[in-house]
Structure 1
Amino acid sequence: MPSSTPYTIKDRGFWRIVAGLLLASLFIFAALYTVQPLLPVFVDEFDVTVATASLSISLTVIGLIIGLVLLGFLSDRYGRTLSIKFSLLFAAFPFFLIPFFDSFELLLLFRLIQGFALAGVPAAAIAYMAEEIDRRHVGFAMGLYIASNALGGLIGRVVTGFITDHSSWETTFNILGISGVVLFGAVFFLLPASRRFTSDDLLLSDDLKGFLVHLKNPLLLSIFGFGIILQLSFTGIWTFMPFHLQNPPFNLSLQELSMLYFAYGFGVVGSPIAGNLAIRFGLDRIRFIAILTLSLGAFLTIFSSFAVIAIGLCLNCLGFFIAHSLTATTVSQKAMHHKGSASSLYLVAYYVGVAAGSSLLSPIWTNFGWIGIVAFASLLPIFYLFVTIFMFPTNKKEAFL
């Protein structure tokens, strides 16, 4: 068993972990979501439907989901830092290759492959923090990591919109590829080696049994379910928002649309303070309020006032990232073994929500427009929230909410 003392907030190693994961996360989530503001561009340039264009997100997420499962196994065997570091390097290459081809089908293929490579960071990061950082401070570190998720998504979307509006999406991809290689070098030297990692030398079949144990745990299942619901609601709003706001009466340009992604700044702020709020007022209570805030923000985007829409998007981001940060923390606390696998299962559920929010909501958009998207995104989290409360009505020690 590892005997090294876990890092506390006073240790240099703690901040090296935080800085390394922050840089890695910035690139991973910028790369994942960079195409979201480009969907209207892809519709026009490649002459594809909205549903087809959205596959550039959902197929990437499918690749990421596959990677989470497989790379989660590998990180349990060969270590967390190896998975994190090389994820950056291999995820950068598709950005250099995609601009050479005029086929949208090949773009989708490269995005699928890229999604698999991107999975190395999220598959290992949560378990890495849980192993290496003192339990008293892991919530704070987790909040900073989730904040960097939000910041990476913000940077990817805003920079993509700005550069594409002034140059081209191909230029954006080349810049992202170079950034990935540079950040790989930084993270390679910055991230400290694992001191408390114990290699899992079980057979693959035994690892699969570990997955099944988590899937038989009703509490963990409810948490995984929330991963799907939260992201399904959130991604649905942000995927179809550009199509809504580029139409009358708003008629926003790509650069103007990209500015709305600064609402993610509320997620950047909200995630780090979520842990402190949970300690002071109770995790369940803060998560409950965060989910209501997420739904309220989605609902406000139904109005025709641009100011109200902007406020709604800010609340939507704030509620989502606080709820996500606290839910991810719950997984690492409740899983007593195979923590890497448990974290991977939560993230699989989380990204199933991304894929569903990107593509499966297209029929709602086609048939009911923005009103349908908003109704779905605002009501679903509240519905699941109360279903979960009734699932665990009495056992407060085991209840998720």
Structure 2
Amino acid sequence: MMEKIEDRPYTLRDAAFWRIIGALGFASLFVFSAMYTTQPLLPVFTEEFGIGVSASSLSVSMTTLGLIIGLLVISFLSDRRGRTLYIKSSVVLAVIPFFIMPFVPSFGLLVLLRFLQGMALAGVPAAALAFISEEVDRRSASFATALYISTNALGGMTGRFITGWVTEHYSWQTAFIGLGIAGAVIAAAVLFLLPASRRFVPASGTVKEDMQAFLFHLRNPLLLLLFGLGVVLQLSFTGVWTFLPFHLGGAPFNLSLEAISYTYLAYGIGVIGSPLAGWLAGRFGLRPVRIAGILIMSAGILMTLGGTTPAVVAGLCVVCLGFFTAHSLTSATVARDARHHKGSASSLYLVSYYIGVASGSTLLSPLWSIGGWTLLIVFAAAVPVIYLIFSLAARKKIRAGMNG
């Protein structure tokens, strides 16, 4: 039976395709700006609220924890009630805390609002890729996905840079209100641009069956290795960026918050890192390029031990190139290696990825307190390489067991 024209998936020639790209791109830009916006403000919070580094980092890790919980819940709900509802609601609800946080009397309330904001933010990453896979033609979906992932990186860079710059010249409260206004404009654009789902088919299985799908993946040792890599990559990557303002704000750099905010522009390497990784993987294979990305990332982390600002910035650029190469190809490998319930496998990878964000922003605080930047960097550079060696050996043993 021929598919009706009005039900066919969108292609590059359709105006609706570009509306989807615009809506999801704007949504992603806001979501990842909001998620990482407090990272350059940690030294400001320690001084203004009279708290320690570990407590200050909760403004990042608790947002991530909220996001993880939101991902688990919304991934179930969006399979049953559609994607657009959660994408649109995510952006609208995540704007509200930005207008409340500047007026809270305590840091505890700010952290609570950041946790709730993280839950709200989860709607976009939980539903966007599924929406693309359902509504966009397979030949155009890879292009749409690459653009969406690029805006993830662009949002992370924008949120850090703008917040740091505005805080230096005005205040963090002004930065938050500005983000709230920008978010309201973006929410209006998303509501207007994002077309209704035409090809969504509600999941017929029960929640119990969905849980069984998750358990199925958690019993797959090859996928577990990939989920673990997601944790390790973000643990090291987030650890570097979380403590960077403290490092560059002290001797011998003594940089202002404005100057530190410019270093976050290195994050923009991720905008080209994902498409470049995909092209290289097409020529050389997923695994070799992913391994190269991990090694490049660790080398870049060690480069930040340089005693000059240019050396640190160069290292950060290398870190971003390696990280986004490794991350994008690990995500692609999960989708390839999951034989059943690919959506739940991708969700589990996202959860592991954000567990790494939460861990890197708070659990590494003792390393900073004990040994400063040097100990933190040596640990952050070593962990991915150690895990890579372990995973290669484990993968070889698992494959041998399957063939035996």
1:36-67 per-residue CA deviation (whole Å, 9 max, x = no partner) reads 00000000000000000000000111111100
1:346-385 per-residue CA deviation (whole Å, 9 max, x = no partner) reads 1110110000000000011111111111111111111111
Q: What is the Cα deviation at residue 241 of structure 1?
A: 0.9
State which of 362, 373, 380 in structure 2 corresponds to 1:370.
373
Kept in 1: contact 2:286–2:333 (CA 8 A): no
In 2, distance between residues paired with 1:174 and 1:336? 46
Q: What is the Cα deviation at residue 148 of structure 1?
A: 0.8
User: Residue 360 of structure 1 corresponds to which residue in structure 2?
Assistant: 363
User: 1:131 and 1:154, CA in 2 relative to 1: closer, same or farther beyond 3 A?
Assistant: same
User: Residue 143 of structure 2 corresponds to which residue in structure 1?
Assistant: 140
2:311 paired with 1:308: yes
1:153-184 per-residue CA deviation (whole Å, 9 max, x = no partner) reads 11101100111111111111111112222111
Count of aligned residue pairs for this structure pair: 399
Q: What is the Cα deviation at residue 141 of structure 1?
A: 2.8
In 2, distance between residues paired with 1:294 and 1:376? 13
2:222 paired with 1:210: no
The within-5 A match list for 1:201-240 is 201-240=204-243
Kept in 1: contact 2:87–2:127 (CA 8 A): yes
User: 1:341 and 1:145, CA in 2 relative to 1: closer, same or farther beyond 3 A?
Assistant: same
Kept in 2: contact 1:143–1:325 (CA 8 A): no
User: 1:136 and 1:390, CA in 2 relative to 1: closer, same or farther beyond 3 A?
Assistant: farther
Helix, strand or coil: the match of 2:396?
coil
Kept in 2: contact 1:165–1:255 (CA 8 A): yes
One-letter amino acid matched to 1:328: S
User: Residue 272 of structure 1 corresponds to which residue in structure 2?
Assistant: 275
User: Residue 260 of structure 1 corresponds to which residue in structure 2?
Assistant: 263
User: Residue 341 of structure 1 corresponds to which residue in structure 2?
Assistant: 344
2:36 paired with 1:33: yes
In 1, distance between residues paired with 2:14 and 2:284? 27
User: 1:74 and 1:195, CA in 2 relative to 1: closer, same or farther beyond 3 A?
Assistant: same
User: Residue 86 of structure 1 corresponds to which residue in structure 2?
Assistant: 89
User: 1:16 and 1:2, CA in 2 relative to 1: closer, same or farther beyond 3 A?
Assistant: farther
In 2, distance between residues paired with 1:133 and 1:278? 23
Q: What is the Cα deviation at residue 394 of structure 1?
A: 8.0
More displaced stretch, 80-89 vs 191-200: 191-200
In 2, distance between residues paired with 1:214 and 1:50? 36
Kept in 2: contact 1:124–1:340 (CA 8 A): no
More displaced stretch, 191-200 vs 103-112: 191-200
One-letter amino acid matched to 2:56: A
1:311-367 per-residue CA deviation (whole Å, 9 max, x = no partner) reads 100010111112212222233333344443322211110110000000000011111
State which of 276, 281, 286 in structure 2 corresponds to 1:283.
286
Kept in 2: contact 1:34–1:160 (CA 8 A): yes
2:79 paired with 1:76: yes
2:63 paired with 1:60: yes
One-letter amino acid matched to 1:219: L
User: Residue 108 of structure 2 corresponds to which residue in structure 1?
Assistant: 105
Q: What is the Cα deviation at residue 191 of structure 1?
A: 2.2
In 2, distance between residues paired with 1:391 and 1:9? 42
2:320 paired with 1:317: yes
Kept in 1: contact 2:221–2:398 (CA 8 A): no
In 1, distance between residues paired with 2:146 and 2:319? 17
In 1, distance between residues paired with 2:190 and 2:336? 27
Kept in 1: contact 2:72–2:347 (CA 8 A): yes
Q: What is the Cα deviation at residue 137 of structure 1?
A: 4.3
Q: CA RMSD in A?
A: 2.3
More displaced stretch, 171-180 vs 55-64: 171-180
The within-5 A match list for 1:144-163 is 144-163=147-166
Q: What is the Cα deviation at residue 103 of structure 1?
A: 0.7
State which of 295, 300, 312 in structure 1 corresponds to 2:298.
295
In 2, distance between residues paired with 1:20 and 1:172? 24
Scaled by the length of structure 2, the TM-score of the pair is 0.93
Helix, strand or coil: the match of 1:392?
helix
In 1, distance between residues paired with 2:359 and 2:78? 27
Kept in 2: contact 1:7–1:134 (CA 8 A): yes
User: Residue 18 of structure 2 corresponds to which residue in structure 1?
Assistant: 15
More displaced stretch, 276-285 vs 253-262: 276-285
Q: What is the Cα deviation at residue 129 of structure 1?
A: 2.6
User: Residue 392 of structure 2 corresponds to which residue in structure 1?
Assistant: 389
| 5+ long unaligned stretches in structure 2 | none
Kept in 2: contact 1:75–1:340 (CA 8 A): no
In 1, distance between residues paired with 2:63 and 2:258? 24
One-letter amino acid matched to 1:390: A
2:134 paired with 1:128: no
More displaced stretch, 83-92 vs 183-192: 183-192
One-letter amino acid matched to 1:378: A
User: 1:9 and 1:214, CA in 2 relative to 1: closer, same or farther beyond 3 A?
Assistant: farther
User: 1:221 and 1:134, CA in 2 relative to 1: closer, same or farther beyond 3 A?
Assistant: farther
Q: What is the Cα deviation at residue 216 of structure 1?
A: 1.5
In 2, distance between residues paired with 1:101 and 1:310? 35
Q: What is the Cα deviation at residue 254 of structure 1?
A: 0.3
Kept in 1: contact 2:214–2:345 (CA 8 A): yes
One-letter amino acid matched to 1:162: W
Identity %, equivalent residues: 55
Kept in 2: contact 1:293–1:315 (CA 8 A): yes
User: Residue 329 of structure 2 corresponds to which residue in structure 1?
Assistant: 326
